[in-house]
Structure 1
Amino acid sequence: MAERIEGLRLPRTQRRQQILTAAAQAFAETGFHGTSLADVATRVGVSQPGLLHHFPSKQALILAVLEERDAEDARYLDEVFQQADPSVVDWLVVLCAKNAQRPELVQLYTVAAAESLDPAHPAHEFFQRRYQRIRQVLAARIELDQQKGLIDPVHVPEDLASELVALMDGLQLQWLMRPPVDMCGLLRRRLARLSAAAGVAAGVAAGHGGDRSDD
């Protein structure tokens, strides 16, 4: 299905994607309250009624932008790992490298997450659910890695998951600053220490096991 807006005929899905891209840039630059539908429409080159044909409100638009970004992440990670079962280290390093290629979307999420602390913000519940989901996903991967000997079992998976989310978010915020920090480099080095600690713990455990067997 194709549609004609402002004299330009485009497939509906293509026009929708144009709007999402322009809205993501606008929300990243000026936040939810500082962005108007008229501004987004101007960036796309359509009328405001034409934009409302796709998204009935600004609230619906920002939620669509955030959900599309998460869906894009999921598709990318599925493509990279396909049938593999990545460690939490691999999973986070790949995601960080992807984010490093799209600072505008990292800024969008950073700004929107901060704004959504207000319970009246349209993305308040979105971010509550998102953080809960991410912590659950990471905790499950951490638990599997502990079973494989990749992470020291001393860590509580849910607690470590919260720490890793905080690490990612904090590094992304500093990376957006000028001068930026080496976001992915710092993340890799921190995660490498996490894996190394598991190796040390495994060696200590093996050593104690050997001592007992000699008794």
Structure 2
Amino acid sequence: MNAPAGTRQPRGLARRAAILDAARRLFARQGFKGASLAAIAQEAGLTDAGLIYHFPTKNDLLLAVIEAGDAEQDQALAPVRARRGLALLRRLAEFGADLEADPVLTALDVTLSAEHLQEDSKVNRYFVQRYERFRALLAGAFEEARAAGDLRADLDPAVEAANMTAVLDGLRLQWLLSDGAVSMAGGMRAYVEGVIARLSPP
């Protein structure tokens, strides 16, 4: 018996969401190569055919997971982008805490970026472009803070942006490997405060 017409779309959306949640968890734990479609279907409580109906290939599913994660990252960055100059940099001190609040997405980012580090693929290009956008956001903030006289005139915005990104990445990896013993939240706050103190005008 077919489901009533009014229930088909919500049910389909719920199943799609369940697949994406299951795939995100398994990709984060096992990597893209280690997580099979059959395991993801089982995790989502669906048959293999039910999963393939929504995502015909594993790559289709991966890209959908990345797009969903990107939307969440944009939401997390919204309070940062809403500020300018030194205020934006000060808000970055809390970004480690933002990442700690979603451990699955944080683990997924680390796992997928490592797996696709050297290959020419959509996933690789996605991470390359996202890093470029993030460094540009930081470099712009350093430049604005310098122009406003809030930071020293001799700072190099590109270098400071790359260093801050590297520290955030390093803290993220250590946080995951230490099962939270190394604090992203505390480490990022201390780093940003140190950068502002170092670059503040005499």
Give the alignment's TM-score, normalised by structure 2.
Answer: 0.85
Structure-1 residue corresponding to 2:184: 183
Structure 1 partner of 2:29: 29
Unaligned segments of structure 2, at least 5 residues: 1-5
State the alpha-carbon separation in 2 of the partners of residues 96 and 119 from structure 1: 28
When residues 93 and 16 of structure 1 are mapped into structure 2, their CA distance, relative to the original with a 3 A threshold, is: farther
Shifted more, 35-44 versus 137-146: the winner is 137-146
Cα distance in 2 between the residues matched to 1:23 and 1:157: 38
In the TM superposition, what is the alpha-carbon distance from 1:2 to its structure 2 partner? 4.0
Secondary structure of the corresponding residue to residue 118 of structure 2: coil
Q: 1:157 to 1:29 in 2, by over 3 A?
A: same
Shift of 1:3: 3.0
CA-based RMSD of the aligned residues comes to: 2.3
2:28–2:107 contact (8 Å) kept in structure 1: yes
| Distance in 1, Cα, partners of 2:52 & 2:60 | 10
In structure 2, the CA distance between the partners of 1:175 and 1:83, relative to structure 1 (3 Å rule), is closer
1:92 aligns with 92
Q: Computing the radius of gyration over CA atoms, which structure comes out larger, 1 or 2?
A: 1
Residue 153 of structure 2 is aligned to residue 148 of structure 1: no
Deviation at 1:128, TM superposition (A): 1.5
Does the aligned pair in 2 maintain the 1:88–1:145 contact within 8 Å? no
Change (3 A) 1:100 1:83: closer
State the shift of 1:72 in Å: 1.2
Secondary structure at the residue paired with 1:181? coil
Q: For 1:12, give the aligned amino acid.
A: G
When normalised by structure 1's length, the TM-score is: 0.80
Q: Distance in 1 between matches of 2:73 and 2:176?
A: 19
Deviation of 1:123 after TM superposition, in Å, equals: 1.4
Q: Secondary structure at the match of 1:3?
A: helix
Paired residue type of 1:175: W
Change (3 A) 1:11 1:151: farther
> What corresponds to 2:107 in structure 1?
107
Q: 1:15 to 1:91 in 2, by over 3 A?
A: farther
Q: For 1:91 and 1:165, how far apart are their aligned partners in 2?
A: 14
Number of equivalenced pairs? 195
The Cα shift of 1:121 comes to: 5.4
